[in-house]
């Protein structure tokens, strides 16, 4: 699968167009007997992932079109030789729940956990100061 595609995906919270290629899903490829599994959640059962070749990162597009189709499905005369407006219209609006290509610092992070408190080794709440030990 080395064909190039134009995709619309989410990058740092914004809609963006990018060049992508499809590669075989690594999870599906490791299954010995594909018939015994009903659904691959890693690739949404597509059997492939979208990869941005210039960065090597995985993308999650909501719209895609093979490059060859860009020039065959749209007529030049309708758009004055430019397909930009036509492609934006066919891609539509970005879904809100789409995973991001890059995570941003503004996204909420998981709260910090106090492992010592969780396993019962944290300093008791009423204890003040530190213990000085002789060695």
Q: Tens digit of pLDDT for each residue in 87-120?
A: 777 777 888 877 776 665 555 666 777 777 778 7
The pLDDT of residue 113 is 77
In a domain, 113, yes or no: no
Segments forming the whole domain that contains residue 11: 4-91
Q: What is the mean pLDDT of the chain?
A: 76
77 pLDDT tier (thresholds 50, 70, 90)? very low
In a domain, 78, yes or no: yes
In a domain, 121, yes or no: no
The pLDDT of residue 22 is 93
In a domain, 134, yes or no: no
In a domain, 126, yes or no: no
Identify the burial level of 5 via C-beta atoms within 10 angstroms of its C-beta, where 0-12 means exposed, 13-18 middle and 19 or more buried. buried
Range from 18-22, 34-38, 39-43, 90-94 carrying the lowest mean pLDDT: 34-38
Q: What is the mean pLDDT of residues 53-71?
A: 85
In a domain, 17, yes or no: yes
pLDDT for residue 32 is more than 80: no
In a domain, 25, yes or no: yes
Output the CA torsion sign for 115, 118, 121, 124: positive
Who wins on pLDDT, 72 or 4? Answer: 4
The tally of domains found in the chain comes to: 1
Q: What is the mean pLDDT of residues 53-70?
A: 86
> Beta 48-51 vs 14-24: how paired, if at all?
antiparallel
In a domain, 120, yes or no: no
Q: What DSSP assignment string belongs to 38-71? A: ---TTTTTSSEEEE-TTT--EE--SEEEEHHHHH
């Amino acid at each position: 699968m080395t064909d190039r595609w134009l995709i619309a995906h989410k990058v740092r919270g914004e809609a963006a167009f990018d060049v992508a290629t499809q590669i075989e899903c690594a999870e599906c490829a490791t299954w010995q007997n594909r018939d015994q599994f009903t659904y691959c959640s890693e690739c949404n059962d597509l059997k492939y992932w979208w990869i941005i070749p210039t960065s090597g990162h995985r993308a999650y597009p909501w719209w895609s079109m093979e490059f060859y189709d860009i020039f065959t499905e749209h007529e030049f005369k309708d758009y004055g030789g430019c397909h930009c407006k036509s492609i934006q219209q066919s891609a539509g609006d970005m879904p809100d729940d789409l995973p991001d290509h890059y995570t941003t610092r503004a996204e909420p992070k998981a709260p910090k956990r106090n492992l010592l408190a969780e396993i019962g080794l944290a300093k008791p709440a009423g204890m003040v100061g530190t213990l000085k030990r002789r060695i």
